[in-house]
Amino acid sequence: MPGSRVARRRRYLVCEPRHFAVRYAINPWMHPDRPVDVSLARRQWRTLVDAYRDHGHTVETVKPEPGLPDMVFAANAAVVVEGRVLGSLFMAPERRPESVPYEAWFKAEGYEVHHPGSVCEGEGDLVPAGRWILAGTGFRTTPEAHREAQEFFGVPVIGLTLVDPYFYHLDTALFVLDEENVAYYPEAFSPGSREVLARLYPDAVIATREDATAFGLNSVSDGRHVFVPPGATALSAQLADRGYVPVPVDLSEFHKAGGGIKCCTQEIRS
């Protein structure tokens, strides 16, 4: 109902795209022969950080490291639940070194970090959603990592199978609106996983493929404000009808690497 949504202050971890580039291809969006405008990417990223701070959220930064062009995608580095940090073990060898500076940051902040034994790509595929964690598999994070996350956090983990390579991480096909609801693109999931989502979230916001390919499901919600790409117009209209406040943020330069708003945002849940 309009006006009834309540924002909750969040703490986010981000990484400046100082070394952002597309040097290899590990998803269908990536084309190394397509140039990246790093200056534009840095301006867009700064707009996202400013939007978070303008809405009362705390933003922390980890120092970017040369030679790690995807380090800007902070969400993939870990998942944090009630102060417990599960790090990442990336599928692609090119990204595996990213886990080192992120784990060092968390340790310097006083957190204990559990490094996974199975391929696990942080909030890319492990999405805390109130009473449980929604967990994607099919392209990156393995089912073994789902079991590892459940044992580590002591929170029920619900596995969901992704079937469309353009939506290779769960956070490209679904995002959490608040403690009770989500938005998602059904065709990104296997038939059984679609049934699971329909049972868990009968009132979910259902996105079109146009919204999804505009990275509309790679959005971030604080419970009221939804930081969403401007190209996801139908999704934004649905959100507004449900009483959420869309906050358009253009991160289109990052689409060239298969990322967007959520990919650039790690939430620290203490």
Provide CB contacts within 8 A for 167, sequence distance 6+: 173, 185, 188, 212, 217
Q: Cα(225)–Cα(52) distance, rounded to whole angstroms? A: 10
Each residue of 160-192: b (16+ CB within 10 Å) or e?
bbbebeebbbbbbbbbbbbeebbbbbbebbeee
Q: How far is the C-alpha of 92 from the C-alpha of 109, rounded, in Å?
A: 27
Tell me what pLDDT residue 238 has.
98
Q: Taking the model in full, what pTM does it have?
A: 0.97
pLDDT surpasses 80 at 1: no
Amino acid at the residue 81 = V
Task: Summarize pLDDT for 118-174 with one digit per residue, the tens.
Answer: 999 999 999 999 999 999 999 999 999 999 999 999 999 999 999 999 999 999 999
Coil, helix or strand at residue 61: strand
* CB neighbour class for 150 (10 Å; exposed up to 12, middle 13-18, buried from 19): middle
Tell me the percentage of the chain whose pLDDT exceeds 70.
99
CA–centroid distance for 132 within its chain? 16
pLDDT at 75 over 60: yes
3-class secondary structure per residue, 70-91: CCCCHHHHEEEECCEEEECECC
Grade residue 3 by pLDDT with cuts at 50, 70 and 90: low
- Which residue type, as a one-letter code, is found at position 102? Y
Q: How much of the chain is helix, strand and coil, in % rounded to 5?
A: 35, 20, 45
Identify which of 52, 69, 36, 74 has the alpha carbon closest to the alpha carbon of residue 264. 74
4 pLDDT tier (thresholds 50, 70, 90): confident
pLDDT in tens, 13-55: 999 999 999 999 999 999 999 999 999 999 999 999 999 999 9
Q: Would you name the residues annotated as active-site residues?
A: 169, 263
Rg (alpha carbons) of the chain, rounded to whole number:
17
**How far is it, in rounded angstroms, from Cα 205 to Cα 158?**
19
Choose among 270, 97, 227, 95: nearest CA to 169. Answer: 95
Joined tokens for residue 182: 């989500």
* Average confidence (pLDDT) over 190-195: 98
